[in-house]
Amino acid sequence: MAACIQRLDRAMFSIRLLRNVQLHNERSLSTSLHRLALDTEQPSKFTPPVKPVIIDKTQSVASLRKFLSPEFVPPRQRTKPIKFTIERKDMIRRRKVLNIPEFYVGSILAVTMTDPHATGKNNRFVGICIQRGGRGLGATLVLRNIIDNQGVEICYEMYSPRVQQIEVLKLEKRLDDNLMYLRDALPEFCTVDTDMKPQPSSPTGEVPVNKTRVRMLPKPWSKRWERPKYDVKGIRFDLCLSPEQLEHAQKWAQPWVEYDMLKEYDTSKLEEDIYTELQQEAAAAK
């Protein structure tokens, strides 16, 4: 950097020489004087200027939380485990090429996908994640946004080769695992600014839980969200339904289901094994 400046100075000096002969004499005199003056002093050591430290806030640091993506955990099935091990290998291979960050239902994401018919061949969509479905390589992610007063939901397959980039603009959790009720909520709860800048989040510590309870449009809804089988905690039922209606909805409650041991599927051990396997793969890759 300093060398460039020195060269530039010399170039400027030579240009001025060519332009003005008078100046040249003066200059040479002045520079020679300057040089003479410099020689009498102690030769100062050349100190290069301080390099500016660039903090790249746009690039997100890999999270240090213990997080296992839900698509790695196989469901309760009769298939042989070798199918899941082979699938996991393919998923890891894809993740080495495309970084799928940690995110939850309720976070705001931006996904760029190849589109042969779009200008610039890529298509970027920003939205709030309302559902994470599928297991294995077919894992999907539904993003919802409202564009020009029209609600738009796009379901992306995370491991598809068409997906170029998945960016988390805002990392947060919500009160539910499935935000399909946003379809029947007021539009203000689903609109996400398309030019939103990624908000930095700390890689350690708890993920912030957004406890907003959503206000709904008048009934009829796409699903009867007040019924206990959906177990929705993020809707302000007191504003849209009367106590009699809520009581009527409780008729469909099945209180024995939580005690039914046949329906229990304990994935803790499986999750731990898969997590250690992924850590080993990541360490081996490095």
108-114 vs 173-174, strand pairing mode: unpaired
Q: In terms of CB distance, is 35 or 263 closer to other proteins? A: 263
Which residue bears the tokens 């400027």?
Answer: 12
Provide, rounded to whole angstroms, the least separation between the CB of residue 136 and other proteins. Answer: 18
Tell me which residue of 81, 147, 156 sits closest to 114, measured CA to CA.
156
Return d(Cα 154, Cα 101) in angstroms, integer.
18
Size of the site for other proteins (CB under 8 A): 8
**Binding marks (x or -) toward other proteins, 235..254, rule CB under 8 A?**
-------------------x
Stretch that binds other proteins, among 17-25, 116-124, 218-226, 256-264 (CB under 8 A): 256-264
Return d(Cα 271, Cα 132) in angstroms, integer.
17
| Phi and psi at residue 19, to the nearest 5° | -70, -55
Among 55, 262, 283, 284, binds other proteins (CB under 8 A): 262
Question: Is residue 266 involved in binding other proteins (CB under 8 A)?
Answer: no
Provide, rounded to whole angstroms, the least separation between the CB of residue 158 and other proteins. Answer: 26
Q: Is 163 helix (H, G, I), strand (E, B) or coil?
A: strand
173-174 vs 209-210, strand pairing mode: parallel
- Which two tokens mark 257? 């289901």
Question: Is residue 265 involved in binding other proteins (CB under 8 A)?
Answer: no
Which residue bears the tokens 């709860």?
Answer: 189
Question: Is residue 78 involved in binding other proteins (CB under 8 A)?
Answer: yes
Q: In terms of CB distance, is 188 or 264 closer to other proteins? A: 264
Provide, rounded to whole angstroms, the least separation between the CB of residue 76 and other proteins. Answer: 9
Tell me which residue of 94, 76, 74 sits closest to 84, measured CA to CA.
74
Stretch that binds other proteins, among 31-39, 169-177, 207-215, 259-267 (CB under 8 A): 259-267
Among 39, 58, 222, 256, binds other proteins (CB under 8 A): 256
Question: Is residue 22 involved in binding other proteins (CB under 8 A)?
Answer: no
Q: In terms of CB distance, is 117 or 263 closer to other proteins? A: 263
- Following CA atoms 220, 226, 231, 236 in sequence, which dihedral angle do they give, to the nearest 10 degrees? 100
- Chain centroid to Cα 11, Å, comes to 48
Q: In terms of CB distance, is 42 or 254 closer to other proteins? A: 254
Question: Is residue 260 involved in binding other proteins (CB under 8 A)?
Answer: yes
- Tell me the HSE value of 16 on the side-chain side, using a 13 A CA sphere: 13
For binding to other proteins (CB under 8 A), which residues are involved? Answer: 77-78, 254, 256, 259-262
